């Protein structure tokens, strides 16, 4: 555990240890608290109470700072104040709503044609002596992101022991917020997994990475992004970089997860399924903690497929959240 230097070091250490003992990774938040510790040591070296002045000073928006980044700085310090109060030490909690929330990020949803073109390019990936399994990994890896709606790191960090080929199930351990879940594979994806394992994992051990990268380490995030940009370019799909305010986000790796959810909901509506019963299934499948995170995709579904809007509104009514596109920012990712 890192040593902290401000007057609040005892509480910062205690909060991080408590969160991690509960199964939370809490790495990003710990990095924020490390910055806050240095901030307090620099500006308030003798202050023993986390008062209003300190919290408001820390919560000032910096030049060029995105609102979602500001929220990311404020939240751990708000939690620190709560922790201090629970332990009998007075502290100021920044009231909710003091900093306006960012409107929802509007993600890119891949069309069926775009997905087809991307997967054609992943299938054309060439052998690389530096990363000898790359041409086997890429076609399966990107199909997994879309077909199962996985987060990038969930797919990247899969080990052989997490993939049960006999029962066609993958197990995700200690994912976002320390949660675990099991994901069944479709028949088609299971067949691809079997062929992939024959080519890559004939002699692999349980702790080996399912998608090996350079020197048999897990693929890095930057490597996945680099390859994805190449596949988009080869598929003639525009990637304009960071989207402007009020515009839909550019195609990204995380867009496969969004696309999975929207396509899944649309298919269920067309099949006449009861979404009151099936939305909790999607929530569990995607590992969402909040029901609202899953319900958000109802809005995207009606926005992209107007032909089913009436049917959705008829069945779900006010469950479909209203999103104001003109005010939306592009950087706040949906879970």
Q: Classify residue 193: in a domain, yes or no.
A: yes
User: Tens digit of pLDDT for each residue in 48-83?
Assistant: 999 999 999 999 988 878 777 888 999 999 999 999
Q: Classify residue 207: in a domain, yes or no.
A: yes
Q: Is residue 74 located within the same domain as residue 155? A: no
Instruction: Give the total residue count for the chain.
Output: 335
| Structural domains of the chain, count | 2
Q: Is residue 132 located within the same domain as residue 193? A: yes
Domain encompassing residue 225: 113-167+180-234
If one counts every other C-beta atom within 10 angstroms of the C-beta of residue 256, the result is 27
Q: Is residue 36 located within the same domain as residue 143? A: no
Q: Is residue 124 located within the same domain as residue 224? A: yes
Q: Is residue 76 located within the same domain as residue 133? A: no
Mean pLDDT of 279-292: 87
Q: Classify residue 45: in a domain, yes or no.
A: yes
Q: pLDDT higher for 322 or 72?
A: 72
Q: Classify residue 239: in a domain, yes or no.
A: no
> Dihedral sign, CA of 152, 158, 162, 164?
positive
Q: pLDDT higher for 85 or 268?
A: 85
Q: Is residue 118 located within the same domain as residue 226? A: yes
pLDDT value for 64? 79
> Dihedral sign, CA of 249, 250, 256, 259?
positive
Please report, for the domain that includes residue 147, its CATH number.
1.10.443.10
Q: Classify residue 333: in a domain, yes or no.
A: no
pLDDT value for 56? 95
Residue 117 β-bridge partners: none
273-276-278-280 Cα dihedral, nearest 10 degrees: 170
DSSP 166: T
Question: Which of the residue ranges 60-64, 190-194, 305-309 would you say has the lowest mean pLDDT?
Answer: 305-309
Q: Classify residue 298: in a domain, yes or no.
A: no
Nearest to 193 by CA among 148, 230, 226, 126: 148
Percentage of residues of the chain with pLDDT beyond 70 = 86
Q: Classify residue 28: in a domain, yes or no.
A: yes
Q: What is the pTM of this model?
A: 0.73
3-state secondary structure of 218: strand
């Amino acid at each position: 555990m890192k040593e902290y230097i401000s007057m609040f070091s005892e509480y910062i250490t205690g909060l991080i240890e408590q969160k991690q003992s509960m199964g939370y990774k809490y790495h990003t938040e710990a990095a924020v608290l490390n910055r806050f510790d240095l901030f307090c040591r620099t500006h308030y070296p003798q202050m023993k109470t986390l008062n209003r002045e300190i919290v408001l000073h820390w919560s000032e928006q910096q030049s060029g700072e995105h609102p979602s980044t500001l929220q990311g700085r404020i939240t751990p310090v708000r939690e620190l104040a709560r922790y201090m109060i629970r332990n009998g030490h007075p502290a100021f909690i920044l009231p909710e709503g003091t900093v306006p929330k960012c409107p929802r990020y509007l993600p890119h949803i891949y069309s069926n044609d775009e997905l087809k073109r991307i997967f054609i390019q992943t299938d054309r990936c060439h052998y690389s002596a530096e990363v000898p399994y790359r041409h086997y990994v890429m076609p399966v890896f990107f199909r997994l992101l879309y077909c199962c709606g996985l987060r990038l790191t969930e797919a990247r960090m899969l080990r052989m022991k997490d993939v049960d080929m006999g029962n066609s199930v993958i197990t995700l351990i200690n994912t976002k917020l320390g949660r675990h879940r099991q994901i069944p594979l479709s028949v088609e994806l299971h067949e691809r997994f079997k062929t992939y394992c024959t080519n890559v994992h004939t002699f692999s051990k349980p702790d080996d990475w399912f998608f090996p990268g350079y020197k048999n380490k897990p693929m890095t995030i930057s490597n996945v992004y680099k390859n994805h940009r190449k596949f988009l370019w080869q598929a003639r799909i525009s990637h304009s970089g960071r989207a402007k305010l009020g515009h839909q986000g550019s195609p990204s790796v995380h867009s496969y997860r969004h696309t999975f959810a929207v396509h899944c909901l649309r298919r269920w509506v067309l099949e006449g399924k009861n979404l009151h019963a099936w939305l909790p299934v999607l929530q569990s499948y995607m590992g969402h903690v909040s029901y609202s995170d899953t319900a958000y995709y109802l809005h995207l579904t009606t926005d992209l497929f107007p032909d089913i809007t009436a049917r959705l509104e008829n069945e779900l009514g006010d469950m479909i959240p209203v999103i104001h596109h003109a005010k939306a920012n592009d950087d706040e990712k949906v879970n």
